[in-house]
Amino acid sequence: ADSITVRSENSSVNINIYLFSLLSNLDIFLFSLIAGVIIYWLMFRKKPVTIPDFPKLETQAPTARETSFIEKMKKTGKNIVVFYGSQTGTAEEFANRLSKDAQRYGMKGMAADPEEYDMSELTRLKEISNSLAIFCMATYGEGDPTDNAQDFYDWLQESDADLNGLHYTVFALGNKTYEHYNAMGKYVDKRLSELGGSRIFDLGMGDDDGNLEEDFVSWREQFWPAVCEHFGVEATGEEFSIRQYELKVHEDLNMNKVYTGELGRLKSFENQKPPFDAKNPFLAPVTVNRKLNKGGDRHLMHLELDITGSKIRYESGDHVAVYPTNDAAIVSRLGDVLGVDLDTVISLNNLDEESNKKHPFPCPTTYHTALTHYLDVTNPPRTNVLYELAQYATDPKDQENMRKMASSSPEGKAQYQSWVLDSCRNILAILEDMPSLRPPIDHLCELLPRLQARYYSIASSSKHPLLGGTRQKTGRVNKGVATNWLKGRVPNDNGHKATVPMYIRKSQFRLPFKAATDNHDRPWHRNRPLHGFIQERAWLREKGKEVGETVLYFGCRHRSEDFLYQEQLEAYEETGVLTQLSVAFSRDQELKASHQMPSPNHCPPLCPLGYARNMARDVQTTFYEIATDYIKKLMTKGRYSQDVWS
């Protein structure tokens, strides 16, 4: 008899198989079959699994962990969290700078979007030693929060959380020309204190109408020594450059995986799918682009965008957000000056692997795309960019100048104001004027702020095709990025349909009355949403609906140059859509406020529209002069609302 040994993985088993020559073929076949089954069973049966005794892991549910900034801070050894309420990126940029600063003072910080975290965890921040929460909060509209801070604002309003033991400070970003100056920053500062938090440094007030950067730098310079004193930490403030992202150059990447300007989903421009929003803009064809003003040094445009098939909905008063593209000449010149092949495919990867923000802009991409679609190369750079770039200037004089401009010394501030801001020097101009400064392009891309969408009031009624009006100044050293780009978006661009990446941003601004109510519009300069409202009234009249009086007061500089939409407005008056059209031109005649005011109960709603800086304030001051009590009554009755811009 032969014997074979079959070894299964776990246990070794000997099977003796006796072969008898006397057996019939069938017997042998059956015998072999049985033996085969046994062998198979021994070899491939599932081994009994012994369950080891694992210690219970202390994990939280995935959703809880994702929104827990406390767990994240503990895990990464951070003690400072910098929240930002930001619409167009400035507060976010300040938050990033503050979290980087922490490292210079021997602490560890992280910037955080309040929308991504459970803010009720502020009650737990005291679990981390020497912890501090910093808030960089911008204000919008009627003293409202930014979109990403709305939930946090609601929570603050409703919460009775005990914030004892929370150390915090707030830097507010706003603009003095608005009535509710820095309202959000002030509110957060006050409310955190009411809930028991300890303010460790005074509220900072940044004014975008003045010099926001300077306000921030001055506040920050006093803030950090105060933090160090508070925690008993040695204030080193050692100045060294800290990179947040590392460069990866992709040699053979499939170009289908490379971002070409998309903001969210790869190929979203080629394969457009609603819903359209900030991360997924719609490429709207431009059907009309014409100059509105007849003279003067400005270029005011009337644009019509076709949103057919996009499922985009909007209401009169909403804004259209447009993503501009940087000037191709600036981009290619940057490549030349820095001696870089702009077609190189790269990724900038966050060195902090725990960070929610993996890249500063969609990656992988090319330098060309980054400089064209993702980074702001048009505006003069902020002082932190100068400070970080200074290390690359080989001429010690250039280096010293750049550091000086980034400092808070009076001479440094004055030099930054005149050499950078007043001279409208963008990054290209700085590089051209400082031949010794040649930074690596990847570090430059890390430092430049993101190119932001520009918002325009929609000039058409939602009952009509979308139409956005915009403004452009010419003759400046530094041309506005969006307006210049839009100027070139003509319907038939060498046989190509020019498109504009856009989405709708809902506005709080609504006319607070029904169509049947009388309406006095007083747009002393700009009148975009106004056209939407008048159009809507014209449309309702056509439908035979009852529409109240509409009186329009329109003021501008010169009748011959900037009486915008003159023909249209005069036609409205002729057909009775406008009950009365009163015009005034500041450079042609003296403006007089001479209207008999009806009693507040019978007064139509009043809607000043135009520049925040002078117009809104002047109109309001005039009204105050006429009747202080009167306008207060209008406000309390919700019959006075503004839509203004700077």
Ligand X SMILES: Cc1cc2nc3c(=O)[nH]c(=O)nc-3n(C[C@H](O)[C@H](O)[C@H](O)COP(=O)(O)O)c2cc1C
List interacting residues with ligand X (CB under 6 A): 86-91, 138-141, 143, 146, 173-175, 178, 180-183, 208, 212, 645
In the complex with ligand X, the residue whose CB is nearer, 113 or 398, is: 113
Contact 449, 382 (CB under 8 A): yes
Residues 300 and 292 sit within 8 Å (Cβ to Cβ): yes
CA distances from 317 to 235, 393, 504, 506, 507 (A): 50, 48, 11, 8, 6
CA angle 129, 130, 132 (to 5 degrees): 115
Nearer residue to ligand X within complex by CB, 47 or 506: 506
Write the DSSP string, 461-486. Answer: -TTS--EEEEEEE-S-SS--HHHHHH
Inter-residue contact 79 to 108 (CB < 8 Å)? yes
d(CA 149, CA 327): 33
Q: Give me 135's structure tokens.
A: 């808030």
Q: At closest approach, how far in Å is the CB of 528 from ligand X?
A: 13
User: Residue 139 or residue 325: which is nearer to ligand X going by CB?
Assistant: 139
Cα distances (Å, whole numbers) of residue 166 to 75, 125, 205, 219, 229: 19, 6, 21, 21, 17
- Classify strands 345-350 and 365-366 as parallel, antiparallel or unpaired: antiparallel
Helices 212-231, 90-104: axis angle to 10 degrees equals 40
CA distance 84 to 66: 18
Closest CA to 383 of 364, 408, 362: 408
In terms of Cα–Cα distance, which of 436, 417, 610 is closest to 522?
Answer: 610
**CB nearer to ligand X: pick between 357 and 559:** 357
Estimate to the nearest angstrom the gap between the alpha carbon of 418 and the chain centroid.
28
Q: Looking at beta carbons only, is 182 or 426 nearer to ligand X?
A: 182
User: Tokens 């009720």 belong to which residue?
Assistant: 120
3-state secondary structure of 123: helix
Q: Which is nearer to ligand X, 123 or 316 (CB)?
A: 316
**Cα distance between residue 557 and residue 4, in whole Å:** 107
DSSP 361: S
- Closest contact distance (angstroms) between CB of 605 and ligand X is 20
Which token pair is 536?
A: 């809507």
Q: How far is CA 351 from the centre of its chain?
A: 22
Closest CB to ligand X among 316 and 399?
316
Q: How many CA within 13 A on the CB side of residue 153?
A: 20
Per DSSP bridges, beta strands 467-473 and 454-457 are unpaired
Task: Please report how close the Cβ of residue 317 comes to ligand X at its closest, in angstroms.
Answer: 12
Closest distance to ligand X from the beta carbon of 352 (Å): 22
Query: 348, 94, 355, 117: which is closest to 217 by C-alpha?
Result: 94
CB of 175 to ligand X, least distance (A): 4
Q: Which is nearer to ligand X, 175 or 519 (CB)?
A: 175
The minimum distance between CB 90 and ligand X, in angstroms, equals 3
Closest to ligand X by CB, 126 or 180: 180
- Report the residue number, 182 or 461, with the smaller CB distance to ligand X: 182
Helix extents (H) in 390-426: 396-406, 410-415
Question: What would the two tokens of residue 509 be?
Answer: 């601004």
Rounded to a whole number of angstroms, the minimum distance from the CB of residue 288 to ligand X is 25
Identify any residues that bridge with 249 across adjacent strands, giving them in sequence order: 346
Nearer to ligand X, 146 or 325 (CB): 146
Which tokens belong to 113? Answer: 């979007």
- Closer residue to ligand X in complex, CB, 114/439: 114
- Type of residue at 543: K
CA distance 336 to 325: 19
CA 384, chain centre distance (Å) = 19
> Residue 49 has which token pair?
């699994």
Q: Which is nearer to ligand X, 283 or 481 (CB)?
A: 481
Q: How far is the CB of 142 from ligand X (least distance, A)?
A: 6
**From the centroid of its chain, how far is CA 5?**
72
Matching residue, tokens 């975008």: 208
Q: Which of 140, 131, 92 lies closest to 112 in space, CA to CA? A: 92
Give which of 644, 645, 316 is closest to 511, Cα–Cα: 316
Comparing every residue's Cβ against ligand X, the nearest one is: 174
289, 548, 641, 557: which is closest to 534 by C-alpha?
Answer: 548
Minimum distance from residue 208 beta carbon to ligand X (Å) = 4
CB of 211 or CB of 260, closer to ligand X: 211
Give whichever of 143 and 296 is closer to ligand X, judged by the CB atom: 143
